[in-house]
Amino acid sequence: MVNAAPRTITFVSRNPGKAREVAAVLAPFGIRVRWRRRELAEPQASSLAEVVRAKLAAVQDVPGRVLVEDSGLFIPSLHGFPGVYSAHFLEVWGFGPMLELLQRRERRAYFRTVAGVRHGRRIATFSGEVHGSIASRPRGRGGFGYDPIFIPTGWKQTFAEVPAAEKDTISHRARAIRKVGEFLARSRPDR
């Protein structure tokens, strides 16, 4: 896609799975990803975009182009829950309580990612979504997070049951990160 010299961006996250996914999605754009493992505080916020802005503010010490993201699983029958609290809910409770809550409710769900890029004082955000449903039980050993219980629309398998490259063709994060790649490919190296 890009024939210029490779560009570099620093992806700040604690999650090695996300780092691998981001690097794979940005590679075709000629963008090299450096992963900086760091726990970033996630403020109580009403939107993923607010969380991303807070994360970008927390990485002011990282030089050059910096990328952060926040993702959430939104279930309409649970009024959008867990949403911005997805990571915390999964860490504390796991899948059990959610699957129990959904026994007699509509299982439709969607994943949403907001990715934020900072270079100097410039900030740009990009989003991606994928719709699907929640499986009745966890399936598969791949992926991370909610991948074992999320079945994308039109698929019979969960994200955890398919190879990462297949997941990257439609995932919420990949969709947002491809927009980052397009943006970076269009921008001048010094901008």
Q: Which of 61, 70, 168, 190 is catalytic?
A: 70
Q: Is 68 left (phi over 0), alpha (psi -120 to 50) or beta?
A: beta
* CA pair distance 172, 67, nearest whole angstrom: 16
* CA pair distance 69, 48, nearest whole angstrom: 9
Number of H helices, E strands in the chain: 6, 7
Residue 151 backbone phi and psi in degrees, to 5: -110, 110
If we measure between CA atoms, which residue out of 74, 86, 76 comes closest to residue 129?
74
In the residue annotation, 61 being an active-site residue is answered as: no
Which residues, in sequence order, are CB contacts of 53 under 8 Å at separation 6+? 116, 123, 125
Q: Rounding to the nearest 10 degrees, give the CA dihedral for residues 118, 70, 5, 3.
A: -120
- Which residues form the catalytic set? 70
